[in-house]
Chain A
């Protein structure tokens, strides 16, 4: 925990020093002290707008987990589904979501729905790939052994395939969770009446640059926090996946 904190403090100190030394105007680059001041001043507003953003990011991540696991399962179970579905899923990742988001807003309104969809689009693909790869990684001999016991398909799935796929699945979750905050802000940016993305859009046009940086800081913390939660869940639910050569 200490090294990242120290590195962060060093960068902040260097930043503050550079801003003061070169007399950079704050509408170009405010220093950390000024940003902290802006954060403190607007703390109530910032917290208020963080809540919908966090809500969209987390619910979008859950939707992505469900769609990702289901599509990965489908791809793993059916060769036809893999051939039919995979190219489209890859294509969906090439679509510039920032261009798609306004369309979603006109369809679903200014509420949280289009943001959750944007987050889902950002996050589901790594989970799909992780699920399909995780299930493919199961030793066929293990499945044979279970069959020799006389196990039903369901027992083979729940006792061997699900736990066996978890190392890959958590890899996918960790990757996806880092996208979900970006997804929520992207969704808010193009059309909303609340959330950090909405606030940033307003601050940008009003040259509230210090507050804009404070908002970026909050988003970073949110991303790191969500990542740590997933990592913690992995440690609690599937500790063997963290072992080398496990």
Chain B
């Protein structure tokens, strides 16, 4: 059944990424409270929750950018306590105006110490897969919003890490561009990273893209629902009109407290 609770990883195998009893307190405010969930190798997990629930805070912890007040984050069974181990894409594209498209794409590689020439060559070679051919020399301000997002995603994907965290990557885009990028993500999913965690506030986006949806409660947030999508793969936009999709959406909206 589509809404069956997911089996928490293969028995015996270490989860790719796990939050264990994670709590965060900032300036006396409890943001996260005992967040527990696992992401298995190869999974695409969407993280949704009411605004202000601490989704981005949680993603920062998974990226190793901050440390939790309680609990811990694990990657491949080892504590994840520093940045640079997983790929992370923040909400805004943060393209640098003084770098051309290809130089923006190579920023991540250069930041990790790859020699500039090698990084630029690899960036230039990768433009085609992301539909950016011919734009390598362009300045970022000449690009459309959708292209800027693709440049930002490619910059992160080029690091070639096995785990990718996306923080509302399409949040700032108009509905149509967003649609196009969602479809495009499904197409390049295998080239991005084996395992993906996507933070979104868009229930449709979560069901469409992810294998599993984790719903956070209101602040202080804990996991309110952990739901396997179980729709036919590969996903298509047409699934949005199916009954299975509608049933999943109803359950997620209910867990978010929006419906019923």
Contacts and interface: CB of A to CB of B under 8 A. Distances in A.
B63 interface: yes
Given A141-B92, A144-B65, A159 B110 contact: yes
Interface in A137-152: 139, 141-142, 144-151
B65 A240 contact: no
A150 B139 contact: no
B97 interface: yes
Contacts of B139: 240
A149 B65 contact: no
A149 B112 contact: yes
A144 B111 CA distance: 12
A246 B112 contact: no
B111 A146 contact: yes
A104 B91 CA distance: 55
Interface string A149-189: 11100011001100110100000000000000000000000
A243 interface: yes
A148 B164 CA distance: 11
A150 B84 contact: yes
A148 B108 CA distance: 9
A103 interface: no
A238 interface: yes
B237 interface: no
A169 to B, nearest CB: 13
Interface residues of B, number: 26
Interface in A68-111: none
B111 A150 contact: yes
A240 B97 contact: yes
Interface in A15-32: none
Contacts of A155: 110-111, 113
Given A141-B92, A144-B90, A147-B83, A159 B97 contact: no
Chain A interface size band reads 20 to 34
A243 B83 contact: no
A147 B87 CA distance: 11
A160 to B, nearest CB: 7
B107 A159 contact: yes
B231 to A, nearest CB: 31
Given A159-B111, A243-B141, A149 B97 contact: no
A137 B99 CA distance: 18
The CB with the most chain B CB atoms within 10 A, among A146, A147, A166, is that of: A147
Contacts of B72: none
Nearest to A142: B94
B98 A148 contact: no
B44 interface: no
A152 to B, nearest CB: 8
Contacts of B141: 243, 245-246
Contacts of B247: none
B207 interface: no
Interface in A201-246: 238, 240, 243, 245-246
A151 B112 contact: yes
Nearest to A141: B90
B98 A163 contact: yes
Interface string B81-114: 0011111101110101110000000011011110
Interface in B133-160: 139, 141, 159
A172 B130 CA distance: 40
A148 B96 contact: no
Given A144-B65, A240-B97, A243-B97, A149 B92 contact: no
B18 to A, nearest CB: 19
A139 B112 CA distance: 20
Interface string B225-247: 00000000000000000000000
A238 B88 contact: no
The CB with the most chain B CB atoms within 10 A, among A139, A144, A163, is that of: A144
Contacts of B98: 163, 166, 238, 240
B96 A163 contact: yes
Contact of B111 (A139, A149, A240): A149
A238 B92 CA distance: 24
10 contacts: A144-B90, A145-B94, A148-B65, A148-B87, A149-B84, A150-B111, A156-B111, A163-B98, A240-B98, A243-B141
User: 6 tightest A-B contacts by CB?
Assistant: A150-B84, A151-B111, A148-B88, A149-B111, A240-B98, A147-B83
Interface of A: 139, 141-142, 144-151, 155-156, 159-160, 163-164, 166, 238, 240, 243, 245-246
Given A141-B91, A144-B60, A150-B85, 4 more contacts: A146-B111, A148-B65, A148-B87, A151-B112
